[in-house]
Amino acid sequence: MRNGFAKTDARLPAYARLRDTLTARIAAGDWTPVQPIPSEAQLAREFDVSIGTVRKAVDGLVSEGLLERRQGSGTYLRAPSFNATLFRFFPMRDSDGAPLSIPQSKMILRSRAKAPAEAAEALGTGKVIKIVRLRSLSDLPVLFEEIYIPRNRFAGFEVLPDVAFGPLLYPTYFEHFGVLVKRATDEVSFGRASDAVAHQLRIRTDDPLAVIRRTAFDVEDKPVEWRIASGSADGFRYRSEIN
Amino acid sequence: MRNGFAKTDARLPAYARLRDTLTARIAAGDWTPVQPIPSEAQLAREFDVSIGTVRKAVDGLVSEGLLERRQGSGTYLRAPSFNATLFRFFPMRDSDGAPLSIPQSKMILRSRAKAPAEAAEALGTGKVIKIVRLRSLSDLPVLFEEIYIPRNRFAGFEVLPDVAFGPLLYPTYFEHFGVLVKRATDEVSFGRASDAVAHQLRIRTDDPLAVIRRTAFDVEDKPVEWRIASGSADGFRYRSEIN
DNA sequence: TAGTGGTCTAGACCACCAC
DNA sequence: TGGTGGTCTAGACCACTAC
């Protein structure tokens, strides 16, 4: 065939097929955030469309947060574009407005496991790796997290050396497994601390708890992570923008 | 001047000035959702720009949710584009999956008032109208709301006849006061029921409470409403999409 | 200074809708 | 059938970045 589109629906308009082709290249890990992707003129030649059509395709990916334009320099992959640290659930400043100390993250467990029902339903598989973390502010534990990721996307995650992990998981997902988290859904509810959670959070059993369940999706809208996080309901707040 | 731009920064590109001019017309109530706005060709002539530039301006407003394109028919105002009923905070179906009965909304109070500190800070004025509502599912009260709206945007709201109100406030804001809510910020936290709230919700004093604070903004990003809503924490859940 | 993205033009043809 | 938005072209010039 004359053009270079990946296997996309030929009935779609050219800009949509180009957009899907570029998304596939991103998902395949063809590009990194440090080198610009091909220029608009190059893409126009490669796919035999006009620059205007390239711009429309790239516009879509920029508005999705996948790409980033830098005038005079080029267009770059934006990864991890997704900043959803659980610490936005708690105040980062004390009552005087002074910033609290740097958030800490302690990995408690990392091993193959069978996913609990909720996680298996969200991920579409029960074969997962389970991660347990405790996150703290000023040496006070504030959030207890259980995280499940599918083994077929994260083979070998459980044996990665500890130095591969920073305070955030999503950069690790991208750098070591090419998994780019693009969006997520959160669900906040109320519960009470079990013995185990209470012990980790240094609160009492049955104390009020804020519970956040999250499912995260990659650039192709496939679920790649399910997690449940718990913190004391006192001082908890969840901010959200609605459009 | 030759073109028809409203008072916009002449340093901005043409599409941005046109977008701002169209936003101002929307805010001024020049258009309704039932009649199309002028066609792209008409706008191009009126503002002495090309159709491509009109498309770029309209694209922005479409992606903001202010306008809606209908191929073959025209471009229409989308109002109220904002659907954020508080009932998404509670399950609308019982445990068997059967839908619960239609949500109800009872207005308890509607009068001029002095805004509490939080509301005054969010709205930038203390001169407000206070609205108190109780919202129910299957005749069970689930949400107690206190709402504050600035008097300078909603003059006469407190003396509107009851028939002017449906179950949702935002359509009333638009139809009677030309105020179009475009976005809002929510903050979820947990607390305990006061005597008054407990009585309204038919729960016990000090029972766990989910509290949602919301600030709503109009098309020009001016705050037009602040509300605080409370419901029993049991059965509460708040869903949110993160991008 | 060469190359990039940012803006803008003046058309063309197509798909769809309302009359 | 006429008018609308949807797609697409093949340029032009500008603003900015990197070297």
pLDDT at position A89: 78
Those residues with Cβ within 8 angstroms of residue A19's Cβ, 6 or more apart along the chain or in another chain? A57, A58, A60, A61
Model confidence at B9: pLDDT above 60: yes
pLDDT at position A2: 44
Tell me which H or E stretch contains A109: strand A104-114
Question: Does any strand D atom come closer than 7 Å to the Cβ of A56?
Answer: yes
| Strands B74-77 and B67-70, sheet pairing | antiparallel
pLDDT at position A55: 96
Reported as a single tens digit per residue, the pLDDT across A177-186 is 999 999 999 9
Residue numbers in A near B84 (CB within 8 A): 242
Residue numbers in B near A238 (CB within 8 A): 187-189, 238, 240
Quote the CA–CA distance of A95 and A63 in Å, as a whole number: 37
- The reply to whether residue A241 touches residue B183, judged by beta carbons under 8 angstroms, is yes
pLDDT at position B2: 44
Predicted confidence band at B215 (pLDDT cuts at 50, 70, 90)? very high
pLDDT at position B139: 86
Reported as a single tens digit per residue, the pLDDT across B222-234 is 999 999 999 999 9
Reported as a single tens digit per residue, the pLDDT across B98-114 is 666 677 889 999 999 99
Model confidence at B1: pLDDT above 60: no
pLDDT at position B177: 95
Question: Does any strand D atom come closer than 7 Å to the Cβ of A161?
Answer: no
Reported as a single tens digit per residue, the pLDDT across A75-123 is 999 977 776 666 677 766 665 656 666 778 899 999 999 999 999 999 9
Reported as a single tens digit per residue, the pLDDT across A2-45 is 456 766 666 789 999 999 999 999 999 999 999 999 999 999 99
Mean pLDDT confidence for B110-134? 97
Neighbours of A30 (CB within 10 A): 11
- The reply to whether residue A243 touches residue B188, judged by beta carbons under 8 angstroms, is no
Reduced to 3 states, what is the DSSP secondary structure of residue A125? Answer: coil
Mean pLDDT confidence for B212-221? 95
Of A79, A239, A175, A177, the closest CA to residue B242 belongs to: A239
Model confidence at A223: pLDDT above 80: yes
pLDDT at position A1: 42
Quote the CA–CA distance of B19 and B16 in Å, as a whole number: 5
Angle at A36 between CA A73 and CA A179, to 5 degrees: 140
Side by side, the strands of the sheet bearing A237-242 are A237-242, B181-192, B208-218, B223-232, B140-150, B127-137, B104-114
Mean pLDDT confidence for B117-144? 95
Candidates A51, A215, A238: best to mutate against B (most CBs of B within 10 A) is: A238
Mean pLDDT confidence for B147-175? 93
Q: Are A147 and A227 in contact (CB under 8 A)?
A: yes
Quote the CA–CA distance of B121 and B99 in Å, as a whole number: 39
Q: Which nucleotide across the nucleic acid strands is nearest to A74, CA versus C1'?
A: C4
pLDDT at position B69: 95
Nearest CA in chain B to A190: B233
Which strand D bases fall within 7 angstroms of a protein CB?
2-12, 15-18
Of A171, A187, A111, A183, the closest CA to residue A147 belongs to: A111
Model confidence at B142: pLDDT above 70: yes
- Taken in order A60, A61, A62, A68, the sign of the CA dihedral is negative
Q: Are A79 and A180 in contact (CB under 8 A)?
A: yes
b/e sequence B179-194, b meaning 16+ C-beta within 10 Å: bbbbbbebebbbbbbe
Residue numbers in A near B62 (CB within 8 A): none
Q: How far is CA A214 from CA A79, A124, A192, A229, B104, in A?
A: 20, 15, 18, 8, 30
pLDDT at position B79: 78
